[in-house]
């Protein structure tokens, strides 16, 4: 079956630090890959996506590249801000209407 594994949190960084949140997946076929963000007390918002191998999704300074050879979709940002503090979920959609989510990684950015 499909599965998503993302790095355990919580992650605490100082403002302007570099962020990497690892995400690997298992799926049959050619899934689409997503990163969602959940700010405190809010629902999920789509942060970025990639629909085929070697695609790079980007938004708000965040980037992730769809690596089929390593089945990975790591999230990166060069300089985090306090406002980036949230829970980040990696997810895949594999030829159906269901999304499979990772457990989420909580990021805290301190001034």
Partner 1 sequence: NAGVMQNPRHLVRRRGQEARLRCSPMKGHSHVYWYRQLPEEGLKFMVYLQKENIIDESGMPKERFSAEFPKEGPSILRIQQVVRGDSAAYFCASSPARGGLNTEAFFGQGTRLTVV
| Contact residues for partner 1, defined by CB under 8 A | 4, 32, 34, 36, 42-46, 51, 89, 91, 93, 95-104
User: Is residue 6 a contact partner of residue 90, using CB atoms and an 8 Å limit?
Assistant: yes
- Closer of 23 and 109 to partner 1 (Cβ): 23
Rounded to an integer, what distance in angstroms lies between the CA atom of residue 9 and that of residue 75? 14
- Which of 82, 76, 102 shows the shortest CA–CA distance to 15? 82
Q: How far is the CB of 54 from partner 1 (least distance, A)?
A: 18
- Closer of 18 and 30 to partner 1 (Cβ): 30
CB atoms within 10 A of CB 49: 18
Q: How far is the CB of 38 from partner 1 (least distance, A)?
A: 9
Quick one: CA torsion of 58, 79, 22, 104, rounded to 10 degrees?
A: -90
- Closer of 80 and 100 to partner 1 (Cβ): 100
Q: How far is the CB of 66 from partner 1 (least distance, A)?
A: 13
């Amino acid at each position: 079956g499909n599965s998503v594994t993302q790095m355990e949190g919580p992650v605490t960084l100082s403002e302007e630090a570099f962020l990497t949140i690892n995400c690997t997946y298992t799926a049959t076929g050619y899934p689409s890959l997503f990163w969602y963000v959940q700010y405190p007390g809010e629902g999920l918002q789509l942060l970025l996506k990639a629909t085929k191998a070697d695609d790079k999704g980007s938004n708000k300074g965040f980037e992730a590249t769809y690596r089929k050879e390593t089945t990975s979709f790591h999230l990166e940002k060069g300089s985090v801000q306090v406002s980036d503090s949230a829970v980040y979920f990696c997810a895949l959609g594999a030829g159906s209407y269901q999304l499979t989510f990772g457990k989420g990684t909580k990021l805290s950015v301190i001034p």
